[in-house]
Structure formats: C-alpha cells, structure tokens
Chains A and B, each alone.
Chain A
Amino acid sequence: GESVGLHLPTLSVQEGDNSIINCAYSNSASDYFIWYKQESGKGPQFIIDIRSNMDKRQGQRVTVLLNKTVKHLSLQIAATQPGDSAVYFCAERSGYALNFGKGTSLLVTP
C-alpha cells in the first residue's frame, strides 16, 4: 500500500540560475538567525547567519535577507551548482538553543 510521510517543500532550479529559499519564523523577539545546509545522511553545515539589527548579509555566493516586519527570512544562492543540492534549514535563536524550520529541498538540474 501507499506509505504516508511528510514531504519537504522542494525547489528545483537549473544549474547556473539563482535560487531563493524562503523561511517564515515565529518569534518576533528573535535576534539571531542562521541557515544550514544538510546533505543526505550528514550533519547540518553552517552557511550564513544574520542578527536582527541587519537586513542583509552576504557571503560567498550566498545572501541572507531579513524582513522583521513580516517575520521572513530568505537565502539567495547565486549561480546554483549541482553541489548545492541539499536540504536547507533556517533556524532562529530560542533561549540557549536554536529553533529549526522543517527545511526546503533544493534540487539542481543540469
């Protein structure tokens, strides 16, 4: 029979295009946000972070945008490559720990 499970939102992009992954957070008092990349069977890998006193932060090929008004975070990846295929998680600081979203699966096609 058919198995029932949770399905991650999936974003499919062509190699070389830009990718935008979105995330909504819940706590308006959160002051720190972070993006992780997780490849299958591995631990999450830090990509980029941003504090609430900033709207934008750039890294190598990645940019994070923070809109505190609507509690929205986005990760932009420039010139997406096959190695970027993974699940991407946003997280907000919650006390001493991090509160993670469910993740978005990014699939890069040739």
Chain B
Amino acid sequence: DGGITQSPKYLFRKEGQNVTLSCEQNLNHDAMYWYRQDPGQGLRLIYYSQIVNDFQKGDIAEGYSVSREKKESFPLTVTSAQKNPTAFYLCASSSQGADTQYFGPGTRLTVL
C-alpha cells in the first residue's frame, strides 16, 4: 500500500453519530482523495484536495466533510447527515501533475 495508511481498519458507528476516518501519507504527495466503494461496485469520489488548505467536492460529497491542514493528512468525517454510510472507504494520493493514484488499505465502516 505504498506509504499510505488508513485507520481504523474496521469502524462501527451508531446511527446519529459522526465518525472520522484517518488517512496519512509519507510519499510527499500534494493531492489526496477519498473514495467510497459499495459491494460489487466501482469507486465513487467523495472529496479531493490538490493542495494544503484547499479541497473540492466529488460526486457524492453530501453527508461528508474533510480538512487538509497538513500535506500528509486528509481526514474524512462521516456525519449523521449521511443516510447510508455503511461502505468501504478508500484514501488515495498522487504527486502534483501526475495521474497515477496510489491507494491505502481502506476502512470498513458499519452502521449499527
């Protein structure tokens, strides 16, 4: 998984709670991304950040929030407004101007 770590590996949340998923990279990459994967489906983009202190919504940003205060960190908060949060969450990063994204090992979130 090449220098990208995600924690925790498994996360359980009660309805109505906010939870934060961690993503850290030591690849000195400028860009970072969050994707959601549901069973039997491809990855869908939640948020991305090309540079520190800047981020953009992806295709399914509703119910999620992010911050990018440090180059190496891009945490994702799943809020209570996200109606169906049970999924596999993947963080990725890429160097500036490069297209290849490298992925972390993922966090599996389950709402109880």
A residues lining the B interface (CB < 8 Å): 5-8, 32, 34, 36, 41-46, 49, 89, 91, 93, 96-98, 100-103
- Closest chain A CB from B49 CB (angstroms): 9
Do B104 and A43 touch across chains, with their CB atoms under 8 A apart? yes
In the complex, given contacts A100-B42, A103-B40, what are 11 additional A-B residue pairs having Cβ atoms less than 8 angstroms apart? A8-B40, A43-B1, A43-B4, A43-B90, A49-B99, A96-B31, A97-B33, A100-B43, A102-B40, A102-B41, A102-B42
Of B33, B43, B45, B99, which contacts A32 at CB under 8 A?
B99
Do B42 and A97 touch across chains, with their CB atoms under 8 A apart? no
Of B39, B101, B106, which contacts A6 at CB under 8 A?
B39
5 closest A-B pairs by beta carbon, nearest first, are A6-B40, A100-B42, A43-B103, A100-B43, A32-B99
Residue pairs across A and B with Cβ atoms less than 8 A apart, 21 shown, are A5-B40, A6-B39, A6-B40, A8-B40, A34-B101, A43-B6, A45-B103, A46-B100, A49-B100, A96-B31, A96-B48, A98-B43, A98-B101, A100-B43, A100-B44, A101-B42, A102-B40, A102-B41, A102-B42, A103-B40, A103-B41
- The answer to whether B58 has its CB under 8 Å from any CB of chain A is yes
Of A7, A42, A46, A102, which contacts B102 at CB under 8 A?
A46
Q: Whole-angstrom distance between the alpha carbons of A16 and B1 in the complex?
A: 27
Interface residues of B in 68-112 (CB under 8 A from A): 90, 99-106, 108
Interfacial chain B residues near A32, Cβ < 8 Å: 99
Interface residues of B in 6-24 (CB under 8 A from A): 6
Interfacial chain A residues near B108, Cβ < 8 Å: 41
Interface residues of B in 23-57 (CB under 8 A from A): 31, 33, 35, 39-45, 48, 50, 56
